[in-house]
Amino acid sequence: MIEARELCKNFKDKKRGVVKAVDHVSFSCKAGEVYGLLGPNGAGKTTTLRILSTALKPTSGTAIINGTDVTVDPQKVRSQIGFLSGNTGLYGRLTAREMVTYFGNLYGMEKQAIRRRSDELFALLDMKDFADSRNEKLSTGMKQKVSIVRSVLHDPPVMVFDEPTNGLDVMSSRTIVDFIKHCRDSGKCVIFSTHIMSEAMRLCDRVAIIHNGRIYREGTVNDLLQATGQNNLEDAFIKIVGE
């Protein structure tokens, strides 16, 4: 459902000139799979995912999302994906339910469908106690749950998670991890970026080591451990990047 083809994204910097944020990145991810982009801050993970979500246009190359080219029909691509990051803002004066309903209207959903799907997701994420509370009064973990619901309300086949547990406490992070597993078990295509090795080991069917905008190595966690002769993913990552 996701196929990145030689994606490149360059930015101009006054001091450094042309910076290659994404440098000929190619990979694929299918339905019912979690594909992880594993790398440090500044590696190119977020830029890659923003290209997939059509928030950024690639300098060259392209990506196909559920059969649609991101550079040809970005509007259709947006209808096929749900995008969640760790720093998504919410309208503070709206309640959680009002926020979700607002996005349901943007997705073009009918009123009854919005209500039915909202109730389903509120129950799944244990949100009923604060569904009608203003977002400005919610904890960080609660806000992230609202962001999840608004991202998946239209039941997209492709999910994009960009460092979704960044800044969250243990319990809130666990909720996000469990939800990603739920997406995979529901047959969705999931791409997930992180710099937290334990999350990658728990969640990802396959991972790509990305650094300086390039993919250095790709495979299952066991593939990477065997190829590097290491016992844990952190040591394997350091060895791959060092090489």
Estimate the crossing angle of helix 96-106 against helix 140-152, to 10 degrees.
20
Phi, psi at 210, each rounded to 5°: -115, 135
- Average pLDDT of the segment spanning 151-160: 93
Q: What is the pLDDT of residue 40?
A: 85
What does the angle CA 171 – CA 174 – CA 177 come to, to the nearest 5 degrees?
160
User: Would you say residue 96 has pLDDT above 80?
Assistant: yes
User: Would you say residue 243 has pLDDT above 70?
Assistant: no
- Lowest-confidence region among 122-136, 160-174, 211-225: 160-174
The pair of three-digit structure tokens given for residue 212, joined into one six-digit string: 């300086």
Q: What is the pLDDT of residue 97?
A: 96
Dihedral angle at the C-alpha atoms of 81, 83, 89, 90, nearest 10 degrees? 40
User: Would you say residue 15 has pLDDT above 70?
Assistant: yes
CATH topology of domain 2-88+157-242: Rossmann fold (3.40.50)
Measured between alpha carbons, how far is residue 53 from residues 24, 30, 84, 189, 242 in Å?
Answer: 18, 16, 10, 14, 31
- Average pLDDT of the segment spanning 106-117: 94
| Segment 190-225, tens digit of pLDDT | 998 988 888 888 899 999 999 999 999 999 999 999
- Lowest-confidence region among 103-107, 125-129, 135-139, 168-172: 168-172
Q: Where are the domains of the chain?
A: 2-88+157-242
User: Would you say residue 46 has pLDDT above 80?
Assistant: yes
Mean pLDDT over the full length of the chain = 91
What predicted TM-score, i.e. pTM, was given to this entire model? 0.88
How far apart are the C-alpha atoms of 48 and 8, rounded to whole Å?
9
